[in-house]
Amino acid sequence: MRLDIACGNHKDLGWTGIDIQKVPGVDIVHDLNMHPWPIKSGSVELAKAWHIVEHIPPVCVTEKGTRRPFIEFMNECWRVLEMGARIDIETPYGSSDGFLHDPTHCNPVDEITFEHFDPDFGRYKTYQPKPWKIISLHWTRDGNVNVVLEKRVTE
């Protein structure tokens, strides 16, 4: 399966779309902050998450304690992907007008953020989420961050 995460009404042909909204093109209606997603572990060969991670809170406090929804989101992406599969993520640069002008954007991402998910970088040790490898990373401070991550084997 090719999974378009938060596809809205612009899912590409041949992809399975998951989104919180029931709009044309969405195959799975589900709140992406609720885990697990209704997708079998290791069943996704390729995923894309364009303009969703900026909407996933980095931290939230609940009656049960502090959660890290962005890390949980990335771990859930990791769970549904096949080993070695990739995810293509696009998000507004965290200090860009594209990020700042939308009141629902709450997770500022920059060129360093994904180092927290790749064991090749020292920042990984801070939270130790499911491991990814950064395959490519491009950004402009007044535009977007584009990253391709590959699912790594857990140790």
pTM score, whole prediction:
0.95
pLDDT single digits (tens) 129-152: 999 999 999 999 999 999 999 999
* Residues contacting 79, CB < 8 A, separation 6+: 36, 41, 42, 130
pLDDT single digits (tens) 45-97: 999 999 999 999 999 999 999 999 999 999 999 999 999 999 999 999 999 99
Q: Is the pLDDT of residue 155 over 90?
A: no
Average of per-residue pLDDT values in the chain: 97
Q: Which pLDDT value is given to residue 24?
A: 94
DSSP string, 6-44: T-TT-PPTT-EEEESS--TT-SEE--TTSSS-SS-TT-E
**Parallel/antiparallel/unpaired status of strands 60-62 and 65-67:** antiparallel
Domains of the chain: 2-151 (3.40.50.150)
